[in-house]
Amino acid sequence: MDHYETALAGITTENGVRTDWAPLGGAEGNEQAAIALAMAATIFHWGLHPWAIYAVVALALAIFSFNKGLPLTMRSIFYPILGERVWGWPGHVIDILAVFATLFGLATSLGFGAQQATNGLNDLFGIPDTNTTMVLLVVSITIVAMGSIFLGVDKGVRRLSQFNIGLAFLLLGFVIIVGPTLMIATGFFQNLLGYVVNLPALSNPFGREDANFSQGWTAFYWAWWISWSPFVGMFIARVSRGRTVREFLIAVLLVPSTVSVLWMTAFGSAGIEQLLAGTFEGEADKLFVMLAGLPLTEITSFIAITLVIVFFITSSDSGSLVIDTITAGGKVDAPKPQRLFWAIIEGAAAIALLIGGGLAALQAAVTSTGLPFTLVLLVACYAIIRGLMSEPRD
């Protein structure tokens, strides 16, 4: 699924809204309502909610690791509840859940990334869109990630991340400038308003006939974000040391959510404009179909492929670092061979899921490991309150 595919999935040029998708049913036959609802659903899945999930884990880890002096691992969050028992089997269970959630969350992402990059390579260079190509891509991503791990955080992960951020903003700026600039500028605020208006209905999985939306989309996304929460949360916690809670919440919730809305608005509006104009053609990866309707298609498609690949390289190497930290009991300077081991395991899991069941297997894996970790997040919310209440007051 493309990052903005939700924005395109509910709209057609002739028959109004696809009834198998429209989450609320109220937009059927109304083109503008369908656009507003589709963009609201996109923001619902990709905006504030994922970052709120990451913020829970990051804030809990930061409080108990940096303020309370406990190891930087998931079991430390449960100290206010379990006490010294976190160093026994209950703590082992918590860390094992975190490892499996992160491992399969990353494996799922690698699988999706390989599928998207393969689609782009097929469109651009005619490379066969087969399982063999996807497996070779996963292997290549894993090998480069291992090299990044060997170089370390500063020389490897940080440089790749900075390169990818710069490339992403370059592509975003290009789409805004050469795409429907006015539609994007006005749509940013309209989409935010539409999200707020439709949020209660989008959040309600009951009393609707569209189980495909709540189960096939929302439940899967939430499980995916939850599976990423130990990985992203630990990284956020490490880079947030020394910040106040207010600064933390602004940086983790508002800033990335705003950038996400801008990204979805820009790419979604460009695709929607082409769809309404009848120039959006093709059933392949919608990102590359949309880029094909803009100038410099070969260059922008190559940039998009590079973005996808480098993003999953940085995800693999940083995810391996986090899993290694958890399995090492919170140590951040564990031997590099251990990190390399986890990078190999991630790649192997992604390949097994791709060959064994494709998209369905990837979705099942992340759902089965992400949803049980929801219990950990719920307890983490309570632990945050306990931790903040125990902090000294001025």
pLDDT, tens digit, 9 for 90 and up, residues 230-286: 888 988 888 888 888 889 999 999 999 999 999 999 999 998 888 888 777 665 567
Q: Is residue 167 part of a domain?
A: yes
Mean pLDDT, range 348-371, rounded to an integer: 79
> 199 is written with which tokens?
């949020």
Task: Please report, to the nearest 10 degrees, the dihedral formed by the alpha carbons of residues 19, 20, 24, 28 taken in order.
Answer: -10
| Confidence at residue 181, expressed as pLDDT on a 0 to 100 scale | 93
| Res 4: pLDDT | 43
The CATH number of whichever domain residue 102 belongs to comes to 1.20.1740
Q: Print the domain residue range for 148.
A: 5-389
Task: Record the pTM.
Answer: 0.86
Domain count, the chain: 1
- Looking at per-residue confidence, does 207 or 86 come out higher? 86
Assigned domain for 129 exists: yes
Task: Please report the pLDDT score of residue 9 as a whole number.
Answer: 43
Mean pLDDT of the chain: 82
What integer is the mean pLDDT of 206-210? 57
Neighbours of 36 (CB within 10 A): 20
Phi then psi dihedrals of residue 2, to 5 deg: -70, 160
The mean pLDDT value for 58-87 works out to 90
205, pLDDT greater than 70: no
Question: With bands split at pLDDT 50, 70 and 90, how would you rate the model's confidence at 152?
Answer: low
Q: Is residue 394 part of a domain?
A: no
| Assigned domain for 240 exists | yes
Q: Please compute the mean of the pLDDT values over residues 63-69 and round it to a whole number.
A: 89
Residue 12 has pLDDT above 60, yes or no: no
Residue 19 domain-assigned? yes
Query: By C-alpha distance, which of 391, 379, 327, 332 is closest to 63?
Result: 391
pLDDT for residue 328: 82
Report if residue 61 sits inside a domain: yes
| Count, residues in the chain | 394
Residues with Cβ within 8 Å of residue 230, at least 6 apart in sequence: 57, 74, 98, 99, 101, 102, 322, 326, 373
Least confident of 28-32, 76-80, 86-90: 28-32
Does the pLDDT at position 17 exceed 60? Answer: no
pLDDT recorded at residue 208: 55
Handedness of CA 306, 146, 95, 368 (dihedral sign): positive
Please check whether residue 283 lies inside any domain of the structure.
Answer: yes
Q: How many helices (H) and strands (E) are present in the chain, helices listed first?
A: 16, 0
Q: Is residue 143 part of a domain?
A: yes
Please give, one letter per residue, the 3-state secondary structure of 181-246.
HHHHHHHHHHHHHHHHHHHHHHHCCCCCCCHHHHHHHHHHHHHHHHHHHHHHHHHHHHHCCCCCHH
How many Cα atoms are found within 13 Å in the side-chain-facing hemisphere of 207? 6
Structure tokens belonging to residue 202: 């989008």
